[in-house]
Amino acid sequence: MMDRAKEAGQSREGLLRSYKQGESIPLRKSLEEAYRSDSESDIDATEFLDRDPLNDRSQPAVTAYAPTMQLRALRNSFARRSKCLLIILAVLVIFWSILAGGGFFLYKQKPADGESPPWYPTPPGGTVAQWSESYKKAAELVKKMTLAEKVNITTGTGWQMGLAVGNTGPALNVGFPGLALQDGPLGLRFADNATAFPAGITVGATWNKDLMYRRGKAHGKEARLKGVNVLLGPCVGPLGRMPAGGRNWEGFGTDPVLQGIAAAQTIKGIQEEGVIATIKHFIGNEQEHFRQSWEWGLPNAMSSNIDDRTLHEMYGWPFQDSVKAGVASVMCSYQMLNNSYSCGNSKLLNGILKDELGFQGFVQSDWLAQRSGVGSALAGLDMTMPGDGLTWAAGKSLWGPELSKSVLNGSLPVSRLNDMVTRVVAAWYQLGQDDKTKFDGQGPNFSSWTNDKMGKINHGSPNDHDEKVVNKFVDVTGTGDDAHKIIALQVATEGTVLVKNEGNVLPLSKDGWPESEKHDTGMRVGIFGEDSGEGEGPNHCMDRACNQGTLGSGWGSGAVEFPYLISPMAALKKAFNMEKVYTTAYPTNSPPLKKMPELLADQDFCIVFANSDGGEGFVAWEGVRGDRNDLFLQKGGDKLIEEVATGCGGGKGSTIVVIHSVGPVVVEKWVNLPGVKAVIMANLPGQESGNAIADIILGNVNPSGKLPYTIGKSLEDYGPGAKILYYANGVVPQQTFHEGLYIDYRHFDKSNINPTYEFGFGLSYTKFEYSNLVVTPVLAKTPLPSPRPKGIAAPEFDNKIPDINEALFPSNFRKLTKFVYPYIGKASDIKKDRYPYPEGYEVKQHPSEAGGDEGGNPDLWNVYANVSVDVTNIGSVHGKEVVQLYLGFADVAGEAKNVDFPVNVLRGFEKVYIMANDTRTVHFNLTRRDLSYWDIVRQNWVMPSEGTITVKVGASSRDLRLTGYY
């Protein structure tokens, strides 16, 4: 086992840190100068790794080790008192016993053998027609490459070794450039002059396929214009099993179909711009606690234990949609799946992703998610990021020179390396990145590590002293009708969900009271809550990792630098007619209401803002370590709402509550108070936040958002599987998904629990009526899909072990410290032997009958039934309705009658604009996959062919108004 002191405490983005403790790390300055200057942050990140984090007193405290280090400090203070020392040591042992679940002496045990069956070798890419030309070009290029060039393409150059967050080396002899990989799912992380789009959860709340696509296209265009080759998004993992999960906000909602459709549309938009999209995190990264080795003080990451059917029908479903959409990269996740690290899980990567789903692109690791060298390559990993191995920013890669050695000594087949490289190069051709008019091959025109014009290309190397222009400040946000802020505003507005509107209190008029009403004074509107205001500015905290001011996004690698953030307070004050409406604003959660009761008593309407924040687990804020600690509002938001609702207008005013949140919040404390007349779930609206909420409140836009998750009355209502594992239950923490298919609304339906607001729910300023549901069979029901098609032949290579000279350092080569090179020092480094292959490597695997093309067996995507329904706007306001289609399997017969099915499962949705008193006919197509379940015995999708499948159409998961049968 490796030395734990050299693996200690690293996260994807840098050293695990607590902003309250103020550790120094080498990261970019923010636009608000919240990040340190270059001189202040010139600290070698690996200094931490070279020490014992538990005993080196010069190391600043790290969150995961804080209890231990506090005890160490006590130990030192009583150094001359042996009795006290023994007591402290005893406490340490007890602490680690509790933490590790198996006791201190089990702390460094290896994890048990994985529970995923082996699946070898990796299926080669280039077996489907739609990628054939790209693979032909790629194969010709790869055949001309040296070993060092091949290794360069598959291995990142190291953390901060290049301008992007991830960089690969070039193959100069054949003209293939190094690639730049950049976060993230809602915009370009660390970039200037780029758009801060609404987060994925807000996109999901729009239920608008066109906006999903257009946001993706704008995002892709900005990435291309900034010189980015690979965009690290969209995100569909986590799916949202646990409502308090820290990164749920990066995805699109808690249903696999909603996630899958949103991801496919986003991928389509990004890749039309020539940028490689990355679907992530594959698979089971549902919480932040224990997601990564050492990040929480344990030597191993947790294991997400998911059964085969659940994996296919739930967590894998949106990835299948993404592969069908042609996604060119998949990112494997940090944690284990069934006790095998995801980035080294051969069943997952080789068997499911590359064979069954027919994935043709390349698999990249999450940053430091690779846990082995040859093993991960054999298991299906194609690219390691950022290139560093088990320790952060050390330049000691598991691949790089080690991959060169593995090929030369015969422990890694040359055929596997050729496939790894060809997959990357084929993706480059598939997206048209050989077009010099779109990609000049010069890399990013911005730096992730400094805002200054001049800087270092390899910021993380202490001996790179070459100053170059690293920031060209290219504005990629668009202008005029093509300005991306227009799309950002549309997504933010349509992703705002009105869940309560008692007495049609909304919309308010910007001109105050209606002329038909007599009032002694103009309308008085009070705006309350810290979430309504600017706070210290949107970029006050690094990676947005604190909750202050209005909440526009969650935190972590998925966050971006805001070019601006319109606050609700500023937008509302600007939107109201100042001559007729008197607005006052108190952007604090602690207004002096007891000392100055008139602040509330003198209002006709009170608009109160509150929020709940969370994010990626590499950083903590106020005790929230990525995953939220509960589902309540933060910073006293619930109390503020109660006080405002009770006192507004002396008890006679109307209170409107607006919530910005990374996920569902429990609203039972105040939602039924008499003064609370309206409630709006505004999600995470991005840079146009204030303009979006003003448009909704004032009726400039008719609300059309629908909840992408269920709002329950308590966390317990979501079921046992919905609870974060906050404390380790073993050396390798285990999170077993016992609930299977039953998360979110599926659990509420099965358990007959009434939520506060159900999945898919959302109000409008008009009303819609449904009629004339028609289900038309297209193809006859049969249990199994058609036989797997043969496919086309993959490219062939000369798989002879190359000459060792191809991997030796060139003479007079100037090496940069910590930079990951493909070269080895001398020929004697190669030790040829009979190296063992993984157990099961020689077992012949039969191609899955569920496979055969991108997205699986082509028959899975054939349409077996059409559905149509008429929707009429019976109100007086034009508006958009989200028509939702669910399937039920209660009336199936035959063997399927004994299969456990959820009450209802979402299988389609369409958002339509309908003018007042008009009717639109909405159409759906149901594919074989939509109508099937995963049979763990047949290892295939099986359609119930006896009895009838129930088709239900309506406005939410609990408002299904029409029923038909297939």
Q: How confident is the model at residue 917 (pLDDT cuts 50, 70, 90)?
A: very high
Task: Produce one character per residue of 83-115: b if its CB has 16 or more CB atoms within 10 Å, e if not.
Answer: eeeeebeeebeeebeebbbbeeeebebebeebe
Q: How many CB atoms lie within 10 A of CB 414?
A: 18
Higher pLDDT, 833 or 851: 851
Signed CA dihedral, 408, 413, 418, 424: sign only: negative
Cα-Cα-Cα-Cα dihedral sign, residues 740, 741, 747, 750: negative
The confidence band for 94, taking pLDDT boundaries of 50, 70 and 90, is low
CB 346 within 8 A of CB 379: yes
pLDDT category at 174 given cuts 50, 70, 90 is very high
Helix-then-strand count for the chain, H and E: 19, 31
Instruction: Report percent pLDDT > 70 for the chain.
Output: 88
Q: Which two tokens stand for residue 461?
A: 């190397």
Q: Kindly tell me if the per-residue pLDDT of 11 is higher than 60.
A: no
In angstroms, rounded to a whole number, what is the distance separating the alpha carbons of residues 700 and 576? 12
The catalytic position among 192, 321, 355, 366 is 366
Q: What is the structure's pLDDT at 294?
A: 87
What confidence category does residue 516 fall into, taking pLDDT thresholds of 50, 70 and 90?
confident
What mean pLDDT do residues 864-883 have?
Answer: 98
Cis amide leading into 204 (omega within 30): no
Residue with tokens 């379940």: 933
pLDDT tens figures, 274-305 = 999 999 999 999 999 999 998 888 999 999 99
Tens digits of residue pLDDT in 501-515? 999 999 999 999 988
Task: Give Cβ neighbours of residue 22 (< 8 Å, ≥ 6 apart).
Answer: 60
Across 55-64, 181-190, 281-290, 769-778, least confident range: 55-64
- Say whether pLDDT at 59 is over 50: no
Tens of pLDDT, residue by residue over 798-841, are: 999 999 999 999 998 999 999 999 999 999 989 888 888 999 99
Q: pLDDT, tens digit, for every residue of 624-683?
A: 999 999 999 999 999 999 999 999 999 999 999 999 999 999 999 999 999 999 999 999
pLDDT tier, 100 (very low <50, low <70, confident <90, very high otherwise): very low
Residue 7 confidence (pLDDT): 31
pTM for the predicted model, two decimal places: 0.90
Establish whether 959 is a catalytic residue. Answer: no
Looking at residue 129, what DSSP letter applies?
G
* 714-755: pLDDT as tens digits: 999 999 999 999 999 999 999 999 999 999 999 999 999 999
Minimum mean pLDDT range among 63-77, 365-379, 571-585, 825-839: 63-77
Q: How confident is the model at residue 603 (pLDDT cuts 50, 70, 90)?
A: very high
Q: What are phi and psi of 770, to 5 degrees?
A: -110, 145
Flag whether pLDDT at 53 surpasses 60.
Answer: no
Percent of the chain with pLDDT over 90: 85
> What tokens appear for 338 in the block?
């069934």
Task: Return the pLDDT at 74.
Answer: 36
- Stated as kind and residue range, the H or E segment containing 689 is helix 689-697
CA distance 421 to 413: 13
Q: What average pLDDT does the structure give for the chain?
A: 90
pLDDT (average), residues 58-80 = 36
Nearest to 388 by CA among 12, 15, 103, 701: 12
Confidence at 414, pLDDT banded by 50, 70, 90: very high
Strands 336-337 and 523-528: unpaired
What pLDDT, on the 0 to 100 scale, is given for residue 125? 98
Considering Cα of 98, then 103, then 105, then 109, what sign does the dihedral take? negative
